[in-house]
Amino acid sequence: MRLRALLDTDALGLRLLGGEDELDRTVRGVMTTDLRDPSRYLSGGELVLTGLAWRRDAADSEPFVRILAQAGVAALAAGEAELGDIPEDLVTACARHRLPLFAVHESVAFATITEHVVRQVSGERAGDLAAVVDRHRRMMTSGPAGGGPDVVLDLLGSDLDLRAWVLSPTGRLIAGSEAAGPALPAELCATLAAEHLAAARTGRRGPHRVPAGPTTYSLFPIRSSARAPQAARDVRETVLSDWVLAVEADAGDWAEERLDLLQGVTQLIAVERDRRDAARTVRRRLAQEVLELVQTGAAPAEIAARLRVAAPVLLPGLGAAPHWQVVVARVEWDGGEVETGPVAQSLLEEILVDPLATGPEPSDRIAVAHVGDEAIALVPLPAVAAEHDGSETGVLADTLLAAVREPLSAGLDGDGRVTLGVSAAVHSAEGLRGALEEARHARRVAGARTGRVCAAGHQELASHVLLLPFVPDDVRRAFTARLLDPLRDYDRRHRAELIPTLEAFLECDGSWTRCASRLHLHVNTLRYRVGRIEQLTGRDLSRLEDKLDFFLALRMS
């Protein structure tokens, strides 16, 4: 509704004191406050009602009005019940900041104005939203392409002033309306996705409301319309693949009709998501065919022929035949019969999407299949990747999960795990079988680690870290306790920092000078600490085997 409509409503008893040129501003809500700084509770577009209890003298008006103007409120309405006439300093401050100012007659309760504004705004928006949904349905039936989620979000923004975004379960920004302005920060996207996954895992009824600073976001799940109804499925089968609609508004006080209409919007976006999933069918089928050939021992020439068919689909316009990496993922849940292969497949497709890409069909040039509980991705690389063996231009295990760890951990909710393994790049069909086994071994290394979300790369298969995870837990505990517990006890009693000294000494390859410099110690002090370590453990740090034992104990602790 417009400010002009408020002024024309005689029952409200509003008198305009300034801002006649701003009466076409839109009112999106109402707030009553007597705080000196109410900015944390403002999101823009409100009619602010105040009894002026915050004003002690004339100097208070300027900062109060400045805060309101910076928050983007529509107007200020001041009551005359306490002070009578509205102070001139407040009128002047509002004029300076171009903030419309109304006087509220003492006979009119703020509750009357609040009720009127809420009723008008809710009624107008509910009617507008129904028109939005109907309009987009007509658009979708008028052509095969639909228009994508951006069209729906643009309508929400232009017709309703609702800023909204579509996010993936890992926090990737898929779509946003032009009216929404700049893209949401990556950290906020990850936080909203994590909150959505955590709420979905606990079965809380949506929409889920998430405060982020002064702003509240309401989250609506977007579930594939091609899947069975959620009530008939284990939530763990869909929680790591559902998109989410994030709306910059608090839906806690929305009418049921309006919530139903927002659910209709999510259904429209779900149709676009199904189209994207259908576009991935060819890539999935290619991956499945190649993997079946690899696992059944087909001739390298036959595998190479299939890869030549796959290359133009995954890397169109590529001159030379690509090289390949293999990524293996597994999702595990504690208890319950859940088919995890499709879950891992959908999740791996999302994780391997270019993090800078947006849209429902980002340039995801990968092919993912699932075999039993494993999802297996064929990742094509430009030919130059061969020179780097995948370590510079390919997929890197240590960065693969960095951006998605927070949301995934929330979605796993303490009873699930995601583990991934990454192979080196291979340059021919002959190397693909070895790459698959390498990725599977790396995934087992990741699976032996602690944590809900873990990954390991091919580099670790040529290191002692390949062996350590498979040492039985009781042997690991006994070995580390025998070597390190005496040092920990001594550090606890004397704050001697023997453990940090031991770590630095081994990392400096036993160099007294470099280690002392690194720890900012005199060499004699370092020699004293090392002597104390040898005395407490009965080991000799000049011997290679004792250094190795300490090194392994620290890695296993």
Query: pLDDT by residue (tens digit) across 236-289?
Result: 777 777 889 999 988 877 777 677 777 878 877 887 777 777 767 777 888 888
Domain locations along the chain: 3-108, 159-279, 282-470, 473-556
At 3-20, the pLDDT tens digits run: 888 888 888 889 999 998
Which residue is it, tokens 């107008």? 124
- pLDDT category at 505 given cuts 50, 70, 90 is very high
Average of pLDDT values for 330-334? 84
At 84-131, the pLDDT tens digits run: 789 999 999 999 999 999 999 888 888 888 888 877 776 665 555 666
Same fold for the pair 159-279 and 282-470: no
Considering only residues 449 and 187, tell me which one the structure prediction assigns the higher pLDDT: 187
Considering only residues 393 and 489, tell me which one the structure prediction assigns the higher pLDDT: 489
At 475-486, the pLDDT tens digits run: 778 888 889 999
Q: What span, in angstroms and rounded, lies between the C-alpha atoms of 386 and 389?
A: 5
Architecture (CATH level 2) of domain 282-470: 2-Layer Sandwich (3.30)
Helix residue spans in 315-414 (DSSP H): 340-351, 385-388, 397-400, 405-412
DSSP H/E element including 320:
none
Phi and psi torsions of 366, nearest 5°: -135, 160
User: Measuring CA to CA, which residue among 214, 1, 225, 246 is closest to residue 123?
Assistant: 1
What is the predicted pLDDT for the residue at 159? 65
What is the predicted pLDDT for the residue at 512? 92
Examine the pLDDT at 526 and tell me if it is beyond 90. Answer: yes
Tokens of 242: 């559902």
CA distances from 358 to 1, 65, 272, 512 (A): 34, 40, 14, 53
What is the predicted pLDDT for the residue at 116? 85
What is the predicted pLDDT for the residue at 175? 84
User: Measuring CA to CA, which residue among 513, 511, 506 is closest to residue 539?
Assistant: 506
At 23-65, the pLDDT tens digits run: 888 888 888 888 999 888 888 888 999 989 899 899 999 999 9
Burial pattern 423-456, b for ≥16 Cβ within 10 A else e, equals bbbbeebebbbebbebbbbbbbbbbbeeebbbbb
CATH of domain 473-556: 1.10.10.2840
Helix/strand/coil percent split, the chain, to 5: 50, 15, 30
DSSP helix/strand/coil, 176: strand
At 62-84, the pLDDT tens digits run: 999 999 999 889 999 999 877 77
Phi and psi torsions of 205, nearest 5°: -75, 135
Tokens of 42: 């403002």
CATH of domain 3-108: 3.40.1390.20
- pLDDT category at 331 given cuts 50, 70, 90 is confident
Topology of the domain comprising 159-279: Beta-Lactamase (3.30.450)
Mean pLDDT of the chain: 79
Examine the pLDDT at 434 and tell me if it is beyond 80. Answer: yes
- pLDDT category at 347 given cuts 50, 70, 90 is confident
Return the top range by mean pLDDT from 221-225, 227-231, 323-327, 505-509: 505-509
CB atoms within 10 A of CB 37: 11
At 348-403, the pLDDT tens digits run: 888 887 544 444 444 556 778 888 888 998 887 765 444 444 444 456 766 777 76
Indicate the residue type of 341: G
Beta strands in 372-494 (DSSP E): 374-381, 416-422, 453-457
DSSP helix/strand/coil, 305: helix
> pTM for this one?
0.58
